[in-house]
Amino acid sequence: MGEPQTPVGPSGQAPVLSSSLMSDEAAAHKPRVFSGVQPTGNLHLGTYLGALRQWVDHQDERDNVFCVVDLHALTVPEEIDPADLTAKSREVAALYFAAGLNPETNIVFIQSHVRAHAELTWLLNCLTPLGWLYRMTQFKSKSDGRESVSTGLLDYPVLQAADILLYDTELVPVGEDQVQHIELTRDIATRYNQLFGDVFKLPKATVPKMGARVMGFDDPEVKMSKSIARERDRHAVHLLDPESRIKKTVMGAVTDSGQEVRFDHASPGVRNLLGIYQSLTGRPMEAIETEFEGQGYGTLKKTVLEAIMETVRPIQERYRTYADDPAQLDAVLARGAERAEAIAEPVLARAKAAVGVGR
Ligand code: TYM
């Protein structure tokens, strides 16, 4: 669908040049992209609209590295089920391809298969002030109410910074909730560069104009999330849900007692449905409002449901072909890890040499 994207920087927000302004050489340069999804829970519509779809839509213009970040899934030890984690990592990778990533042109791998991620994390840990990590909103919400919190949960964004910096990444396509982590990555890289020389490239987050923050169907005041969806049936639409379940979730979405389908005056639930519809169809909001003029929320929900099914059905069909051929999937992931390692190792060596460690 080629949805427009917003490059986000920490402060000055240098815009990405439009292709008409680029020299031939710059136009030929494909920016390096890195992004990933944590294999906890099932991938939902938020993950798809916030992240996966922008990966797929822009795959040909970019030099892509996509990862299933299984080491990040270890940060809440009470929730680790080893066999399930291995299976989920492969499921998420298969969903990347089912969503449309080309396995030939994109590097796709599982994070723990490339050791450099853990190793660079240590180097970055040693110069990341604790205060920077305590400020992370995701840490605050994930640690809230827990009796015991692992060091890994606090350190999570440093591992994420290592993921990104290892590939000389320029763009990190993510949903809105991850922008703070990308800004932290820039801060860590800047500090490393100031202390030890010009080691790391500074990456920028890109968030989609639409779908950067999809809210829960059962509670449109909170972001759709894998952890909430584990506890509440009607919270999220998952990419692998059967149609009957998706129907229950969408038709049961929280709206309000009003009648008119208008974005500006709508309650959070109606805005969420309209936002999802806009994101799925790529149509302007005025055209959508005209489409629903004089119609009630029932029609809105049915139409959103159809749009979701149109997106999800082909993903489910393609997913089956990957799930049915595990050997093929493993081969693609093994090749992905090799290609990732070939990029990551020299960057790690550069980072180690700069601080005076390594051979
Ligand atoms: P994770 O697994 O929570 O989410 C994966 C991606 O989906 C986006 N997303 C959403 N976008 C819109 N609306 C939602 N409701 C929604 N829920 C999730 C997220 O913003 C994300 O882009 N820390 C990361 C994984 C990670 C990573 C990285 C990402 C590890 N290393 C390096 C980029 C680069 C995470 O937990 O994402």
Residue-wise pLDDT tens digits, 66-109? 999 999 999 999 999 999 999 999 999 999 999 999 999 999 99
Range of the domain at 279: 226-322
Q: 3-state class of 204 per DSSP?
A: strand
Which pLDDT score, from 0 to 100, does residue 23 have?
Answer: 52
Residue type, 323: A
Nearest CA among 170, 206, 284, 214 for reference residue 6: 206
Residues near ligand 1 with C-beta < 6 Å?
34-38, 46-47, 49-51, 69, 72, 160, 163-164, 172, 174-175, 177-178, 181, 212-214, 223-224
Number of compact structural domains in the chain: 2
Higher-confidence position of 62 and 28: 62
What CATH number does residue 234 fall under? Answer: 1.10.240.10
User: Do 30 and 101 belong to one domain?
Assistant: yes
User: Do 200 and 317 belong to one domain?
Assistant: no
171 lies in some domain: yes
Listing DSSP states for 6-61 in one string gives EEE-SSS-PPPPPGGGS-HHHHHPPPEEEEEE--SS--BHHHIIIIIHHHHHTGGG
6 lies in some domain: no
User: Do 142 and 265 belong to one domain?
Assistant: no
Residue 10 clears pLDDT 70, i.e. is over it: no
User: Do 204 and 301 belong to one domain?
Assistant: no
The most distant pair of C-alpha atoms in the chain lies apart, rounded to whole Å, by 72
Ligand 1 centre from 22 Cα, in Å? 30
217 lies in some domain: no
User: Do 255 and 108 belong to one domain?
Assistant: no
CA distance 3 to 12: 23
User: Do 137 and 192 belong to one domain?
Assistant: yes
What is the average pLDDT score of the chain? Answer: 92
User: Do 22 and 64 belong to one domain?
Assistant: yes
pLDDT cut 70: percent of the chain above it: 92
Residue 330: pLDDT band by 50, 70, 90 thresholds?
very high
Specify the DSSP class assigned to residue 115. T
User: Do 83 and 130 belong to one domain?
Assistant: yes
Which pLDDT score, from 0 to 100, does residue 12 have?
Answer: 34
CA distance 139 to 305: 34
Per-residue pLDDT tens over the stretch 162-180: 999 999 999 999 999 999 9
Residue 21 clears pLDDT 50, i.e. is over it: no
Which pLDDT score, from 0 to 100, does residue 18 have?
Answer: 30
The mean-pLDDT minimum among 5-19, 67-81, 176-190, 271-285 falls in: 5-19
Residue 38 clears pLDDT 90, i.e. is over it: yes
Q: 157 to each of 32, 139, 163, how far by Cα in Å?
A: 20, 9, 10
**Mutation probe of ligand 1 site: the residue of 47, 89, 111, 280 with most atoms within 8 A of C-beta:** 47
User: Do 196 and 149 belong to one domain?
Assistant: yes
251 lies in some domain: yes
User: Do 165 and 30 belong to one domain?
Assistant: yes
Specify the DSSP class assigned to residue 212. S
Both tokens of residue 11?
């402060």
Residue 320: pLDDT band by 50, 70, 90 thresholds?
very high
42 lies in some domain: yes
Which pLDDT score, from 0 to 100, does residue 5 have?
Answer: 56
User: Do 202 and 264 belong to one domain?
Assistant: no
User: Do 172 and 260 belong to one domain?
Assistant: no
Listing DSSP states for 218-257 in one string gives S-TTSB--HHHHHH-TTS--BTT--HHHHHHHHHT----S
pTM of the model: 0.92
